[in-house]
Structure 1
Amino acid sequence: MRIYAFFFSLLLSHAAFSADWVVIVHPNSGVEKLSKNEVVNIFMGRYRKFPSGQNAVPLDVISPPTDREQFYKFLLNKELADVDAYWARLKFSGQIAPPTPVDDTDAILDMVANHVGFIAYCDKKKVSAKVKVVLDLSR
């Protein structure tokens, strides 16, 4: 019986940490939709512009760290250690900087709502009318 309780609690804890991730931009960014591949290229530093030509500045949430970890798992199917290693190599070569770290989702939502060039991710439940969803990773 204890083993069932353990697995049930493990399942519930996993569900509590899962989110429906969306990628957001400013409503006036000129971007209506982005493909998953375009988002990967922006967040991995390969593109620094939206298809509209507007500069794209990706933002990473740092608290809680599980948000960042889950987003990259959904986006790239990679562990955060792999993503950090990728950025360490690029930073060492001086080629490009990683996404800008931001304290939490509330700060990210404010920043995207107030700057046309920012692109970020958040839990779908936290989206407001101040930002536009351009990719829904929960689908």
Structure 2
Amino acid sequence: MKYSVSTVFLSVAISSFCSFSTLAEVAVVVHPSNQINLTKNEIKRIYLGKMKNFANGQVILPIDLSEGDKTRNAFNKQLLGKSSSQIKAYWSKLIFTGKGTPPKNVRSESEVISAVAANPGTIGYVEASQVTDQVRVIVKF
């Protein structure tokens, strides 16, 4: 079976559009009393274990959704610029060498909200539609 160039191009364009349209809008959240403002680069550094304290000296406790979660995949791709398998390999290397501990995993976005609401040092991310008044959004993307 032969395909024309335009048929192949159309197929690629449609599949690309579908994969981008499934990426969720992600909101990075902190405790309402935590008045810090972070750049996307600082958030990236937190989730790669390179930034461990807020500017006020408070220890940062990052929360990650479980592997395979669509919001986690979007967060990894859009903010960290890596696939989930690349992130897993990154943390495996740091754990093996004793140079880092990955963010704590939770099973659901409601658990992220609860963890962040319970501790001013915690930072997490959820799909933007899941944000409640228990947390404060510091960035959306």
TM-score using structure 2 length: 0.83
Query: Cα distance, 1:30 vs. partner?
Result: 3.5
Unaligned runs of 5+ in 1: none
Secondary structure of the equivalent of 2:110? helix
Asked if 2 retains the 8 angstrom alpha-carbon contact of 1:64 and 1:104, the reply is: no
Query: Cα distance, 1:29 vs. partner?
Result: 2.1
Q: Equivalent of 1:118, from 116, 119, 122?
A: 122
TM-score using structure 1 length: 0.84
Any idea what the Cα deviations from partners look like across 1:26-49, whole Å, max 9, x if unmatched? 011231x21011101111001111
Secondary structure of the equivalent of 1:122? strand
Q: Which has the larger radius of gyration?
A: 2
Pick closer, same or farther for the CA change 1:9–1:74 going to 2, 3 Å. Answer: closer
Letter matched to residue 112 of structure 1: V
Q: Equivalent of 1:95, from 92, 99, 105?
A: 99
Secondary structure of the equivalent of 1:71? helix
Which whole-Å CA distance do the structure 1 matches of 2:102 and 2:70 have between them?
18
Q: Equivalent of 2:62, from 58, 62, 66?
A: 58
Pick closer, same or farther for the CA change 1:95–1:10 going to 2, 3 Å. Answer: closer
Which whole-Å CA distance do the structure 2 matches of 1:8 and 1:76 have between them?
25
Question: Identity of paired residues, percent?
Answer: 31
Which whole-Å CA distance do the structure 1 matches of 2:99 and 2:44 have between them?
17
Secondary structure of the equivalent of 1:120? strand
- Asked if 1:23 is matched to 2:28, the reply is yes
Aligned residues: 133
Which whole-Å CA distance do the structure 2 matches of 1:80 and 1:21 have between them?
16
Unaligned runs of 5+ in 2: 1-6
Q: Equivalent of 1:38, from 28, 42, 47?
A: 42
